[in-house]
Structure 1
């Protein structure tokens, strides 16, 4: 699914920095994970729509950040580093730096993008799209760790963007989830109800499958409106505790 990153915007950034941001988004949403080997440079450059020189510059930037490491010899190449994902402590610190207004704004954006995705997926999704999304929904329901929840939840929603057959909506979904998902699943099941989220995923898919555009739009927006409220509740909970108590 790395090819879905092609065209993800990083406004104001140079080309190599923009590619770095795209790859960092892929890490944040679980398209790339700790230990994953990146495709050969010529293949990855083609997938991202840039020259090999630009890609090398981007990978060099990521190595400096500790996000990518290079291994020599047989089986060598560029690999996602174990330092790529923030620790729970770092995420809690990031959460504390947010404001309620910022979290609400992020939730509003997520709900708006998801509503558009749901409506268009109901119009355009084919059987293969639905099978892929159903399988990802099942993986989410079986997830047991915050890392698995982050990865499977993001992949599920990105798959709906693919089903909507809109590159821009897919890119917007990736951007939103690269920021939202690490916060949403920072505390795993204590941040939100896995069962509730799973049921909502199924309801969205049911609406898409029966071609009910209005329901797909409404259910998708409601899903993220609820998650936005959950984020705000967690923020308020953190605000009443010390870092040592969290």
Structure 2
């Protein structure tokens, strides 16, 4: 089985999940054209054959569509993003323990990211993260909140100069972001989250590792509690009432 996982279906599945996570956090959006296969395969560190297998899986799921002719290629499909109704249905199927566990993971990853970003971030990293924090503060729809929140935290992973922490952040947010802002601004306080983003960035900018660690963890601990409160609120209503 190890051989299959290293060179066959297992690897193509991993690449599919990687691309699906990029869609979930808004790094890839509806209508985006993917790079040519040879370029994308090189970027992902896999063979063209493995990439084709991954894209075939995604086409079957309706996440990617292929267009022929001039200007053709592989494009992210409008079906790639779950509808609000689908997200709400998925949210209802979760358990409080699962949501708490997801929040614990997010807080742990974010703390490591914050600490290392305080050590390693350069001016360009900080400018990019500030820009994304500002975009989040101006967001007004659930989709904008999901995308800008994810991109902000992923930018901190990049600032931490750790590929593994960045990938861990992407994986966490592929689950968390859509759930956190499932009902738009009412599902969580944009103002509070924005203030926390700014505080984290301030700590990183002044190279305060302890504060960046603590504030990053506290940010997700609060968001986890918000999710749990929303879950309990939904538990007292029927799907029709929600």
Could you say which TM-score interval applies, normalised by the shorter chain? Answer: over 0.9
**1:196-238: CA deviation from partner (whole Å, max 9, x where unpaired):** 1011000000000000001000000000000000000000011
- The Cα of 1:182 is off from its aligned counterpart by 1.0
Residues 209 and 12 of structure 1: is their aligned pair in 2 closer, same or farther, counting only changes over 3 Å? farther
Tell me the secondary structure at the aligned position of residue 66 of structure 2: strand
Per the alignment, residue 146 of structure 2 pairs with: 150
Name the count of aligned residue pairs. Answer: 242
- The Cα of 1:74 is off from its aligned counterpart by 1.0
C-alpha separation in 2, matches of 1:13 and 1:220: 37
Equivalent residues of 2:5, 2:11 under 8 A apart: no
Q: Which runs of 4+ in 1 moved over 3 A?
A: 5-13
C-alpha separation in 1, matches of 2:232 and 2:238: 12
Tell me the secondary structure at the aligned position of residue 69 of structure 1: strand
C-alpha separation in 2, matches of 1:8 and 1:151: 35
- Selected match of 2:76 from 72, 77, 80: 80
C-alpha separation in 2, matches of 1:6 and 1:148: 40
Equivalent residues of 1:8, 1:172 under 8 A apart: no
- The Cα of 1:166 is off from its aligned counterpart by 0.7
Residues 216 and 41 of structure 1: is their aligned pair in 2 closer, same or farther, counting only changes over 3 Å? same
Tell me the secondary structure at the aligned position of residue 79 of structure 1: strand
Equivalent residues of 1:26, 1:178 under 8 A apart: yes
Consecutive unaligned residues of structure 2, counting only runs of 5 or more, are none
Q: Which has the higher helix share?
A: 2
C-alpha separation in 1, matches of 2:222 and 2:167: 22
C-alpha separation in 2, matches of 1:15 and 1:112: 27
**1:176-212: CA deviation from partner (whole Å, max 9, x where unpaired):** 0001111111111011000110110000000000000
C-alpha separation in 2, matches of 1:95 and 1:191: 12
Higher mean displacement: 104-113 or 9-18: 9-18
**1:44-86: CA deviation from partner (whole Å, max 9, x where unpaired):** 1111000111101100000000000011111111000000011
Output the TM-score relative to the length of structure 2: 0.96
- The Cα of 1:10 is off from its aligned counterpart by 12
C-alpha separation in 1, matches of 2:177 and 2:149: 8
Tell me the secondary structure at the aligned position of residue 9 of structure 1: helix
Consecutive unaligned residues of structure 1, counting only runs of 5 or more, are none
**1:91-121: CA deviation from partner (whole Å, max 9, x where unpaired):** 1110110000000000000000000000000
Output the TM-score relative to the length of structure 1: 0.95
Residues 209 and 193 of structure 1: is their aligned pair in 2 closer, same or farther, counting only changes over 3 Å? same
Alignment of 1:32-181 (within 5 A): 32-181=28-177
